[in-house]
Amino acid sequence: MNKVYLASPYSIGNQEENVKRQIDVANKLMDMGWVPYVPLLSHYQNLICPRPYQDWIDFDCQWLRVCDCVLRLDGESKGADQEVEMAIAIGMPVYYSIDELNGLEKGI
């Protein structure tokens, strides 16, 4: 199974809806045999144990590096755009739809 990092909007729009969207996509990817990393789940940890914003950025960057690819969901997001830039810089493939990702037949 291949690890997919989900990059999508968080702070623009409704944060809860943005988190739910990542969870829904992750669930779909799991059904398809992928292993998604859902960085927006930190939303709930941060509610209970707040940490500085940079801590979450650094944390997510470490997880991004161990994934096989990035799935960039649509929507304006400076943070998600930076995650895509990081992936490209380390030679990691970036995909922009589940269909595009699934077309790989899990053959990363």
Helices 78-89/53-66 angle, 10° precision: 40
Q: Nearest 10 degrees: CA dihedral of 65, 96, 35, 50?
A: 60
d(CA 108, CA 96): 15
What was the pLDDT predicted at 107?
Answer: 46
What was the pLDDT predicted at 106?
Answer: 46
Radius of gyration of the chain (CA): 13
What was the pLDDT predicted at 1?
Answer: 56
**Tens-digit pLDDT profile for residues 26-52:** 999 999 999 999 999 999 998 999 999
